[in-house]
Amino acid sequence: MAKILLIDDEDDLREFVAIALNYHGHEVTEARSGRVITDPPEGAAAASDFDLIITDIVMPDSEGLETIVAARKSHPAGKIIAISGGNRGGDRAGVDYLQQARLLGADATLCKPFSTADLFRTVEQTLHAA
């Protein structure tokens, strides 16, 4: 199926999503930080190695918004899904982060917590979008 880079600093969530996506036939590489994309020289090549990048937005080492911008710059045609449950700045901050992610180039977004059905649907729609 697809080669997916999954970036999230929450170990339990990242591992669960990776297992679910692997079970559905995808090849998943896990990362705890967007630095795999943002830090040259490896980062510039890393985005093009994947069919899809799924990145959390709120992370301590490298914000997901930075990751999206770097991935777009190095691999403009790549597919990106942004995920967030962040609550900085108010009750709906996670949604605001996701709106910002769309503006910066994310193809799709998911608000945490999300169901595996929502995850699978979003991944398939994003991978098959023109």
**Residue 89 has what pLDDT?**
47
Given 3-state DSSP classes, what are the helix, strand and coil percentages for the chain, each rounded to the nearest 5? 45, 20, 35
pLDDT band at 47; cut points 50, 70, 90:
confident
Sequence spans of domains, the chain: 3-128
Question: What is residue 36's predicted lDDT score, i.e. its pLDDT?
Answer: 86
CATH code reported for the domain at 3-128: 3.40.50.2300
CA distances to 41, 92 from 82, rounded to whole Å, are 23, 16
Q: In this structure, what token pair is assigned to residue 34?
A: 């967007």
State pLDDT tens for residues 59-77.
987 889 999 999 999 889 9
Report the 10 Å Cβ neighbour count for 16. 14
